[in-house]
Amino acid sequence: MTHALANGVERNGECWRCSERVGLSAFCVSCAAPQPIAADVDHFALLGLPRRLDLDRADLERRYHDASRRVHPDRHQTASTEEQTLSLAASAAVNRAYRTLRDPIARGRYWLELHGDPIGADNNRVPPELAELVFAVQEQLADVRAGHGDAAAVAAARDALASRLASLVAGLDDRYARHGAAHDPPALADLKRALSAIAYVRTLLRDVDAVAAR
């Protein structure tokens, strides 16, 4: 029975140990037992947060710490093997949820995934507003690869990319405040455009760093 639970097969909204209502939480508030985690667990629900793009960072951190205090393996060291297994899985799920939600970019991408419109591997079209910058940088990279690159020019291109990335990321918070919990097609499209641009610049920046490291 507990073994089946440990493998995350079934959960019916009740604590496996004391039958208290647990909903989608990672642990039972009544008896502190770590709960089995569903494969498609919702990161917001796991930490007991409202499903919103504009999260309160301090609230997120407090909830993460509270959940960790309950589910972390250190708290279940003396428990049965089954409970230890549950604790390990629940703790890993809580860590993953926090890691995803705390980073604005990861949170936005997760939002798109949740609403069935993920940013896929097909994300290689140059966002129009970035065309000029992208073209200039790629020219620099081509020169370097051809053996007549200019280190100062590459460094300048890198700086331009980095500052563009910073302003794009900084713009996310405004966008999230505007969208709140919105998941209508126009809101999702806007989000996807912004996140695609960020992903594009990040990839390009990595290319520049790889070339510069040579």
Partner 1 sequence: MARVVGIDLGTTNSLVAVLGEDGPRVLADPETGERLLPSAVSFLPTGEVLVGRAARARALEAPLETILSAKRFMGIGFEHVSDEDRRRYRFAPAERGPVRFLVHGHTLTAPEVSAHVLRELRRRAEAALGDVVERAVITVPAYFNDSQRQATRDAGRLAGLEVLRLVNEPTAAALAYGLDRQEEQSTIAVYDLGGGTFDVSILKLARGVFEVLATGGDTRLGGDDMDTVLAAVLLDGLPARWREHVQVRAQVLRLAEEVKHALSSRADAPLEIALPDGGRFERRVTRAELEALIAPIVERTTRSCRQALADAGLDPAGVAAVVAVGGATRVPLVRRHGEQLFGRPPLVDLDPDEVVALGAGVQAGILTGDKKDMLLLDVVPLSLGIETMGGVFSRLIDRNSTLPVGVKETFTTAVDKQSGVEIHVLQGERELAADNRSLAHFTIPIDPLPAGVPRVEVMFLVDANGILSVTARDLRTGREHTVEVKPSYGLTDDELERMLEESFDHAEEDVQQRQVREARVDAETILRVTRAQLDVHPGLLEPGERERIMRAAAALEEAAAGEDPVRIRDAYDVLSQTTEPFARRIMDHALQETVVSRALDEL
Q: Answer yes or no whether residue 196 interacts with partner 1 by CB under 8 A.
A: no
Residue type, 151: A
Helix, strand or coil for residue 27? strand
Closest distance of CB 106 from partner 1, Å:
11
* Residue whose tokens read 């009740």: 14
Residue type, 184: D
Sequence-distant (6+) residues with CB within 8 A of 190 are 175, 179
When binding is defined by CB under 8 A, the residue of 11, 45, 54, 95 that contacts partner 1 is 95
Nearer to partner 1, 25 or 68 (CB): 68
When binding is defined by CB under 8 A, the residue of 1, 12, 78, 186 that contacts partner 1 is 78
Closest distance of CB 134 from partner 1, Å:
23
Q: Which two tokens stand for residue 117?
A: 């419109």
Closest distance of CB 118 from partner 1, Å:
16
Residues in 38-77 at the binding interface with partner 1, rule: CB under 8 A? 61-62, 65, 68-69, 72-75, 77
Helix, strand or coil for residue 198? helix
Closest distance of CB 93 from partner 1, Å:
8
- Candidate segments 42-50, 88-96, 105-113, 185-193, binder of partner 1 by CB under 8 A: 88-96
Length of the chain: 214
Residues in 123-182 at the binding interface with partner 1, rule: CB under 8 A? none
> What's the distance, CA 107 to chain centroid?
4
Q: Answer yes or no whether residue 110 interacts with partner 1 by CB under 8 A.
A: no
Closest C-alpha among 137, 178, 139 to residue 160: 137
Closest C-alpha among 95, 120, 93 to residue 109: 120
Write the CA distances from 13 to 87, 185, 186, 191, integer angstroms.
Answer: 17, 31, 34, 32
Give the span between the Cα atoms of 98 and 83, in whole angstroms. 22
Residue type, 172: L
When binding is defined by CB under 8 A, the residue of 25, 46, 53, 91 that contacts partner 1 is 91
Closest distance of CB 57 from partner 1, Å:
12
Q: Answer yes or no whether residue 92 interacts with partner 1 by CB under 8 A.
A: yes
Nearer to partner 1, 53 or 89 (CB): 89
Closest distance of CB 211 from partner 1, Å:
13
- Which positions lie near partner 1, rule CB under 8 A? 7, 61-62, 65, 68-69, 72-75, 77-78, 88-89, 91-92, 95-96, 98-99
